Amino acid sequence: MSTPDKDPGNNPAHSGVNAWKLNPVKLAPPQPSGGPGQTVSTPSPVVATAPAAPLDVLPNLRPGKKKQRIVTLAAVAALILVFLVSWFIHWQSAPSRPSPMPRSRSENILGQTHQGDTQVPLPSYRALVIGINRYQPSGGEGWQTLQSARADAESVAATLALNYGFTVQTLLDGEATRSAILNALDDMATSGTDGADLIYFAGHGYFDEKLQEGYWIPSDARKTVGGREAKEDWLWNSTLTRLISASRARHVLVLSDACYSGSLFRGDEPLSTRNSQAWYERAISKPSRYLITSGGIEPVLDSGVGHSVFAQQVLNYLEHCDRDVFSANDLGSALRERVAVLTGQMVQMGPLPVSGHAGGEFVFIRQKDGVQRTAFAPHSAGKPMPEQETRGADTPAAAVQKRQDVLHDALALTRAGAPKSANSLISAVLQQNAQDQLARAVADYVTRSQRQEGRDELQKLIGQIEAKGKGDASQASSRKPQSPRPRILACLGPVPPSADPATENTGLLYRIALRSELERHASMRIIEREALETILQEQNLGTSDLADPRARTAIGKLLPASLLLLGDVLPSDKGDKIFLRLVDTETTQVLASFNATRHADEDPETVCTNLATRIAKQVVTLKPLLAPVTKLDGTRLQGAIGAFHGARAGSAFCVVTRTPRDKKTPDDFAEQEVGNATLRDVSDFSCEADVVWKTTAPAHVQDLWLKESPAVASTP
């Protein structure tokens, strides 16, 4: 086995920079035989005529025969001359053709062109290579040190860069934290559609039989904390699969040398090796998502002689294979045979069952002297191969489920810390329908989560409420009407009954859709569950404690006059059942209940639109916005209500007079409706409205109020 150069000056692995770089763009072919720097020109075609044969070289013929032979030769020469002149004229008038290029090493196999075909550029080869020997978690029980994972990664990185022209990023030991791995994978997944991306991982792995979920273990991950498994520190295989599914690269190949890494594999058995030119040309031109792991759902050996057995066989094949062009399937087949003989481990390989796989394969092309092919022609289009056969259009139910699955994956990637890949998935949905309201709401959630906007807005709102409360307290002795408190709805439900990540994303999708629809249907401030969780954690409370009235009271102190939307979602293959309840934080009482069923072929936003309309109507009935009129001028008035309270331009209100029934009884008023108002201009704490009076316009603002009413409320 050849090893990287031991000279620190020549080996990037010893230079302190964990990145092997080799620019694969604009690679030049080998120099022509004329030598470096010399220009080899293609001579222009010339017309050549055969010299006339002298008469004395002709055989001795009788005079008549000799004359006949001379005439025949002259006629043949004339015909040749006419043909050459015609060919030359045709050649000059034809479109210019590029001069033939010398072939590089790979062109011995993949250099033929086919009439009528266009050339397919080679992908841009990139690799992320991760190797972890030392695990250094902060707190909790850690993972034992490995012996060869880092050396495996360094050797694989060097071989990919030096022999195959990959641009390689390495994450070794302490660099391979969970956030660093996710950021690198997120960048790779969104870096370009021309990529052939290889991901190599050597380190600890784990498999949860109950959840049937596998994990890669980052260098900063705890094994246990407080007697439980610290899965929040681990990199879930489902997250990796979603990243691969979201990737825009043409090819993605995962090489995983970790315990239980076979849990990543959920594909069919690989096809037999096909090493014909036409097959490789097809394979490299079609997208692929492929996986090779060192074992199934089982522990695998850490070290052979300097490297793990799996890594050593990968290196042997990459460095000593006698073929210049081969596929991931070729590599996997060789590994399966050798690793099984040496260790008994069952190497797993095959296409990943994700949307990005389209029958292609990751194709390696060895370079020579820093040069590899820049393009080659694909196989001529003929009879479609089996994987090219077109499929029927999705049924409506399948299309709805596919879109929902994509949005679920986007939410899962956002929560895992890969917002770029999440946005890539959402963009694909919006390309199909730019007016998709649910996809737009999910995109807004991803952006807000990335910037932590929800938490910042909530903290700002709490600060405004505190400042406003102090101002109102200082004016309590005056007879001026007090400004209303903002109406706030914390959208905390629905949530699934279990902590399974798939069902958690279902609940989150419904909450996002409800929040979006409620903001359209009601004048109120909507608070996200994730933003509120941050505030509650500061008081040693969580949203899981909301069944306890003390938690509701704590929220009521932070957000006076607020409402909580709680509830559950019960997912099933036939559809989802949703149960919601509206809770008053001041009284901790349930004010109203709602339920709905979403069928499998029904869009989630359709159900949420119906629910939001019912919830908004109930909120307005139970907690209408009410504010004093502060100025009156004919058909225009001003009121002490604004965006801070949830009011928006276009909202409709009643104008009422409120007179006390009994001065000894607070909050007991006789109301009479005198007009309808539409808000035309809204600032933070005040508004202007146009009024249509039912009778003569009042002469003053005393006892005149703006009151929200379900009968006249409208959606802007």
**Total-model pTM:** 0.67
Closest by alpha carbon to 188, among 208, 172, 166, 219? 166
Gap between the Cα atoms of 454 and 466, Å rounded:
19
Give the three-state DSSP class for 454: helix
What pLDDT is stored for residue 119 in this prediction?
62
Average pLDDT for residues 617-641, to the nearest whole number? Answer: 90
| pLDDT of 200 over the 90 cut | yes
For residue range 475-492, what is the model confidence (pLDDT) as tens digits?
Answer: 555 445 566 777 888 888
Structural domains of the chain ordered from first start: 56-85 (no CATH), 123-381 (3.40.50.1460), 404-450 (no CATH), 452-474+484-622 (3.40.50.10070), 626-707 (2.40.10.410)
Give the three-state DSSP class for 22: coil
Gap between the Cα atoms of 654 and 675, Å rounded:
6
What pLDDT is stored for residue 401 in this prediction?
81
Burial call 671-707: b when 16+ CB within 10 Å, e when fewer: eeebbbbbbeebeebbbbbebeeeeeebeebebbbbb
Rounded (10°) CA dihedral 345, 350, 354, 356? 140
| pLDDT of 25 over the 60 cut | no
Gap between the Cα atoms of 170 and 240, Å rounded:
17
In which band, very low, low, confident or very high, does the pLDDT at 220 lie, cut at 50, 70 and 90? very high
- Say how many CA atoms lie within 13 Å of 655 toward its Cβ: 29
What pLDDT is stored for residue 26 in this prediction?
35
Closest by alpha carbon to 637, among 620, 656, 618, 621? 656
Return the percentage of the chain with pLDDT > 90, whole number.
24
Gap between the Cα atoms of 691 and 677, Å rounded:
4
For residue range 273-302, what is the model confidence (pLDDT) as tens digits?
Answer: 455 666 677 678 788 888 888 765 545 555
Average pLDDT for residues 185-193, to the nearest whole number? Answer: 88
Residue 651 CB coordination number (10 Å): 24
Gap between the Cα atoms of 249 and 124, Å rounded:
9
For residue range 328-363, what is the model confidence (pLDDT) as tens digits?
Answer: 888 988 888 787 777 666 677 788 777 677 778 898
Distances 262 to 57, 113, 213, 489 between C-alpha atoms, Å: 83, 40, 10, 46
Average pLDDT for residues 141-148, to the nearest whole number? Answer: 86
Q: Please state the separation of Cα 453 from the chain's center in Å.
A: 20
Give the three-state DSSP class for 610: helix
Longest dimension (CA), the chain: 151
For residue range 227-264, what is the model confidence (pLDDT) as tens digits?
Answer: 888 888 999 888 888 898 888 899 999 998 876 554 55
Helices 437-451 and 501-521, axial angle in degrees (round to 10): 100
Per DSSP, the residues of 105-157 read: TTHHHH----TTPPPEEPPEEEEEEEE-S----SSSB-PPPPSSHHHHHHHHH
What pLDDT is stored for residue 624 in this prediction?
86
Rounded (10°) CA dihedral 432, 438, 440, 442? -120
Least confident of 406-420, 480-494, 662-676: 480-494
Instruction: Determine the residue type at 173.
Output: D
What pLDDT is stored for residue 297 in this prediction?
52
The more confidently predicted of residues 224 and 67 is: 224
The more confidently predicted of residues 562 and 91 is: 562
Write the CB contacts of 589 (distance below 8 Å, at least 6 apart in sequence): 583
What pLDDT is stored for residue 713 in this prediction?
47
Is there a contact between 347 and 294 (Cβ–Cβ < 8 Å)?
A: yes
The more confidently predicted of residues 88 and 157 is: 157
Distances 324 to 20, 25, 61, 204, 383 between C-alpha atoms, Å: 21, 19, 63, 33, 28
Is there a contact between 619 and 526 (Cβ–Cβ < 8 Å)?
A: no
What pLDDT is stored for residue 275 in this prediction?
55
